[in-house]
Amino acid sequence: MNHHNDSDEHWDLIVEPKTSLFDLNLREVWRYRDLMMLFVRRDFVAQYKQTILGPLWHLIQPVLTTLMFLLVFGQIANIPTDGIQPVLFYMSGITLWNYFSACLTSTSNTFVANAGIFGKVYFPRLVIPLSVVMSNLVRLCIQFGLLLAVMGWYAIFESTPFHFGFSWFLLPVLVLLMAGLGLGLGIIISSLTTKYRDFTVLIGFAVQLLMYATPVAYPLSFIKGKNFAPIIEWNPMSTIVEAFRFALFGTGGFELGSLVYPFCFMLAILFLGIMIFTKVERTFMDTV
């Protein structure tokens, strides 16, 4: 009969219930980074498995939206584009907005879409929404490549000046801000949809509305002095989209200090989102 001490046993992984509300355990998320990359690959492959055109969709979609904006906002409504070539003006706004909306809509159904995996195996649940934000970066790069190609075309054939300067260093920062906002809002919504499923129906509509409350199809200067201007100015995405155009084209009245508000807003939303997400994560399997 052999007696062995409890102290002799070494466990690789101890799964403990989370106790405090601020117990976010981000170190654990980092430990599961290989799994995250697997999910990134899964998301990316899944997107093209069911399509005939595959990655071409990422090019077709911004082109069609740009053409629609040209017709509706440029030709019919006659809204100015701040001295930027209209095609480039719309396409730049659409490229950045697509990234935000993809991050938001894809992360907003994290719990519902992955209930199958969540019920079977343990891993930090935050890995899934983070992988979504990363796999959408690939799509952003494809659309940004298209935007650069169109900018090059205008520079060569239409002699539109191609602006390239220090302001380009702002671009990764702006993408990070959009990713943070999309992730934060997405995981808050995903936490709510575990109990209230009808939220998912509203998401597509809400994102569409939010796009019109963001200067994607018009410049901020256009709404100055109008009744609804404060709503659009308080929208943290407005500054980010304006800054994105300023970084690319070097025009518009942008100041670096104006990014402080969206940055603080993004941190607050992200922190709140992760807190709610980790709270729901514990009781989630009972509600789904």
Which is more confidently placed, 45 or 76?
76
* pLDDT given for residue 93 in this prediction: 94
Whether 4 shows a pLDDT value over 60: the answer reads no
What is the mean pLDDT of the segment spanning 148-160?
A: 88
Tokens describing residue 116: 């199958």
Residue 184 · residue 266 · CB < 8 Å: yes
CB under 8 Å to 153, separation ≥6 — which residues?
none
For 165-217, what is each residue's pLDDT tens digit? 788 888 999 999 999 999 999 999 988 887 777 777 788 889 999 999 999 99
* pLDDT given for residue 180 in this prediction: 95
What is the mean pLDDT of the segment spanning 139-149?
A: 93
Looking at every residue in the chain, the average pLDDT score rounds to 84
Share of the chain above pLDDT 90, in %: 36
Q: How far apart are CA 124 and CA 284, in angstroms?
A: 13
Whether 7 shows a pLDDT value over 60: the answer reads no
Q: What is the pTM of this model?
A: 0.85
Q: Determine the distance from the C-alpha atom of residue 30 to the mean position of all C-alpha atoms in its chain, rounded to a whole number.
A: 20
Apex 218 CA angle, 240 and 251, nearest 5: 60
Whether 162 shows a pLDDT value over 60: the answer reads yes
Residue 124 · residue 25 · CB < 8 Å: yes
Whether 69 shows a pLDDT value over 60: the answer reads yes
Whether 96 shows a pLDDT value over 90: the answer reads yes
Tokens describing residue 28: 């654990």
Q: How far apart are CA 169 and CA 91, in angstroms?
A: 20
Of the candidates 190, 178, 176, 186, which has an alpha carbon nearest to the alpha carbon of residue 97? 178
First to last CA, the chain: 47
What is the mean pLDDT of the segment spanning 31-54?
A: 80
Which is more confidently placed, 50 or 268?
268
**Least confident residue range of 60-69, 124-133, 191-200:** 191-200
Question: What letter does residue 195 receive in the DSSP assignment?
Answer: T
**Would you place residue 250 in the very low, low, confident or very high pLDDT band (cuts 50, 70, 90)?**
confident
Q: How far apart are CA 210 and CA 72, in angstroms?
A: 18
Whether 52 shows a pLDDT value over 90: the answer reads no
CB atoms within 10 A of CB 225: 5
Question: What letter does residue 124 receive in the DSSP assignment?
Answer: -
Q: How far apart are CA 20 and CA 24, in angstroms?
A: 9
**Would you place residue 236 in the very low, low, confident or very high pLDDT band (cuts 50, 70, 90)?**
very high
Residue 144 · residue 95 · CB < 8 Å: yes
* pLDDT given for residue 80 in this prediction: 84
Whether 244 shows a pLDDT value over 90: the answer reads yes
CA distances 108 to 31, 144, 207, Å, are 24, 24, 12
- H helix intervals, the chain: 26-31, 33-49, 56-69, 86-107, 110-113, 115-120, 127-157, 170-193, 199-212, 220-223, 229-234, 236-249, 260-287
Tokens describing residue 223: 């709404």
